[in-house]
Structures are given as structure tokens and as C-alpha cells.
Structure 1
């Protein structure tokens, strides 16, 4: 009887801990998305130029390293907002470029709506079904690395078809990453809400930019 009570108590504690991580993750994710939107708006309002590929990569990976190192302290939160704010600044010039195209406003809004629908649908499915998607971890890691390198190749060698293929790959990979990370939180694989927030934010950011690229390319061909 005592063993059953202990097991029941342990289960309850795990459930409470998981719910706390979920609540904190979605609260922080909402704030970082809003902050990123503000910095993107500032970038657009002042017509700031895109920092370029090299500076973007250095800034992203540098701030991501800082978040990872400081994830268990209050400075981790500062780094999260620094990272998402920086990504918002890099996003502003991209959105401005699409808005300058014919039907650019519709393209941006469609990409934004598509991103929201995909995120809500996939995270909702993972939460409702409580399926374990941890088996996707290795595949996603390799897939993201391959897509990242292919994306660099498409930029350096200026291959539009490869660039579109990479964007399509990222849509699928980021969708898988949303399922994986949400499942990871539910099943106790991820207990740090700062890292969970960064993973989901990066998924949403890449999903949006990839959809924007695809919709913009297909829209220009009509």
C-alpha cells in the first residue's frame, strides 16, 4: 500500500513538474515572439539593411551558445530575449523585401497564418495524443544539418532550385521539430523551459521564413 502511495505521489509530482515546464515555455515563447515582432517592426520602420549571412550566423550561434551556457540562471532569460530580438532584426529587412513585391502583403500574411496553423495543430496533436516522438531526434538532427549545409551551398553557388528544395525540407523538418520538442516536454525529456522555448522559437522562425520563400517564389511564377 505504501509503495502504491509513493508511486502515485511520484507520478503526481512528475505531472506537476511537466505542467510547470509547459506553462513557462508557452508564456516565454509568447513574450519572445512578441518581442521579435517588435524588433522586426523597428527594423522595417528604420529601413535597416540585412546584416548579411556571416554576421547573422555569428550572432545566432553566439547568442545560442550563451543561452545554453546560462540556461539555469536569470541571465539565460536575458540571452533568450537578446537572441529572439536579434532574429527579429534580421527578419525585418526580409519582410520588407517581400512587401515590396506584387501581392507581397498577401504573401506575408499567408506565410504568417500558415505558420500559426501548423504550430497550433502539431503542438495540439502532441499534447492531446501524448505520443512519444523521441524516435525522431536522430533523424531531425541529421536532416537539419544536411538542409543547413545545402542551404549554404544554394547561397554560395546561387542555385534557385536547390534553395526552394531546402525551404521545403525546412518546412517538414521544423514541423517534425515542433512535434519532437512538445513531446519531449510532456514526457520529461526537456525540463528546462528556456531551452524548450528557444527550440520552439527557432522552429517557428524557420517555418515562417521557409513558407515565405516558397510562397514568394510560386507567387512570382504565376
Structure 2
């Protein structure tokens, strides 16, 4: 009887911990998305030019390393906002270049709507079905690495077809990452809401930029 009570107590504590991680993750994700939108708007208002690929990668991976290192302290939250704010700032010039096109506003809105629909739909599916998508972890890791390297190749060698292929691949990979990370939180695989927020934010960011690229091509821009 005592063992049963102890087991139930642990199960209840686990559920409470999971709910806390989910609540904190989506609260922090909402705040970082708003802050990223603010820094993107700021860079657009300033007419900031696109940062070079090396500066962008150095800033991203540097801030990601700092966030990971301090994920268990209050400094981790500071670095989350620094990371997402930096990513938003780099996004501003990209959005500006699309808005300068004849139908650029429509392309940006379609990309935003598509990103929101995919994220909300996949998140709701993972939460309601409670399916375990942990089996996707290895595939996603390899796929993202390959797509990232291919994307760098497309940039340095200026291969438009490869760039479009990478964007299409990233739409699928980021969709899978949203399912994987949401499932990971629900099943207790991810207990740090700071890292969960970073993972979901990066998924949303890459999903949006990839859809922007594909929609721009589909509209012959």
C-alpha cells in the first residue's frame, strides 16, 4: 500500500513538473517572439543592412553557447533574450527586402500565417495525442546538419536551386523539430524551459524564413 502511494506521489509530482515546464516554456516563448519582432522592426526602421554570414553565425552560436552554459540560472533568461533579439535584428533587413517588392507585403503575411498555422497545428497535435516523437531525434539531428551545410554551400557558391531545396527541407525539418520538442516536454525528456524555448524559437524562425524564400520564388520574386 505504501509503495502504491509513493508511486502515485511520484507520478503526480512528475505531472506537476511537466505542466510547469510547459507553462514556463510557452510564456517565455511568447515574450521572446514579441521581443524579436521588436528588434526586427527596429532594424527595419534604422534601415540596417544585412549582416555578413560570418558575423551572423558568430553571433548566433556565441549567444547560443552562453544560453546553454547559463541555462540553470537567471543569466540564462538574459541570454535567451539576447539571442532572440539578435535573430530578430538579422531578420529585419530580410523582411525589408521582401516588402520592397511589388507584392512583398502579401508574401510576408502569407509566410507569417503559414508559420503560425504550422506551429499551432503541430503543437496542438502533440499535446492532444500525447504521442512520443522521441524516435525522430537522430533523424532530425542529421537532417538539420546536412541541410545547414548545404545551405552554406548554396550561399558561398550561389546556387539558387540548392537554396530552394534547402528551404523546402528546412520546412519539413523544423516541422518535425516542433513535434519532437513538444513531445519531449510533455514526456519529461526536456525539463529546462529555457532550452525548450530556444529550440521552439529557432524552429519558428527557420520555418518563417524558409517559407518566405519559397513563397518569394513561387511569386517569381
Fold in common (TM above 0.5): yes
Q: Offset at 1:26?
A: 0.1
The CA deviation string for residues 171-211 of structure 1, in whole angstroms up to 9 with x for no partner, is 00000000000000001100000000000000000000000
The ranges of structure 1 where at least 4 consecutive aligned residues each deviate by more than 2 angstroms after the TM superposition are none
Structure 2 CA distance, aligned partners of 1:99 and 1:125?
33
Structure 2 CA distance, aligned partners of 1:51 and 1:167?
20
The CA deviation string for residues 136-164 of structure 1, in whole angstroms up to 9 with x for no partner, is 00000000000000001111111101000
Secondary structure of the corresponding residue to residue 188 of structure 2 = coil
Structure 2 CA distance, aligned partners of 1:27 and 1:170?
25
Is 1:86 matched with 2:86?
A: yes
Secondary structure of the corresponding residue to residue 219 of structure 2 = helix
Structure 2 CA distance, aligned partners of 1:219 and 1:52?
26
Structure 2 CA distance, aligned partners of 1:159 and 1:200?
29
Is 1:75 matched with 2:75?
A: yes
Tell me the TM-score normalized by structure 1.
0.99
Specify the alignment match of 1:215 in structure 2. Answer: 215
Cα RMSD after superposing both structures: 0.6
Specify the alignment match of 1:59 in structure 2. Answer: 59
Q: Offset at 1:4?
A: 1.2
The CA deviation string for residues 47-105 of structure 1, in whole angstroms up to 9 with x for no partner, is 01111111000000000000000000000000000000000000000000000012100
Structure 1 CA distance, aligned partners of 2:55 and 2:194?
24
In the alignment, structure 1 segments of 5+ residues that lack a partner are: none
Q: Offset at 1:220?
A: 1.3
Specify the alignment match of 2:204 in structure 1. Answer: 204
Q: How many residues align?
A: 221
Secondary structure of the corresponding residue to residue 101 of structure 2 = coil
Specify the alignment match of 2:138 in structure 1. Answer: 138
The CA deviation string for residues 98-118 of structure 1, in whole angstroms up to 9 with x for no partner, is 000121000000000000000
Specify the alignment match of 1:164 in structure 2. Answer: 164
Secondary structure of the corresponding residue to residue 47 of structure 2 = coil
Structure 2 CA distance, aligned partners of 1:118 and 1:38?
22
Structure 2 CA distance, aligned partners of 1:113 and 1:16?
33
Q: Offset at 1:122?
A: 0.3
Tell me the TM-score normalized by structure 2.
0.99
The correspondence of residues 96-111 of structure 1 with structure 2, limited to 5 A, is 96-111=96-111
The CA deviation string for residues 20-40 of structure 1, in whole angstroms up to 9 with x for no partner, is 000000000000000000000
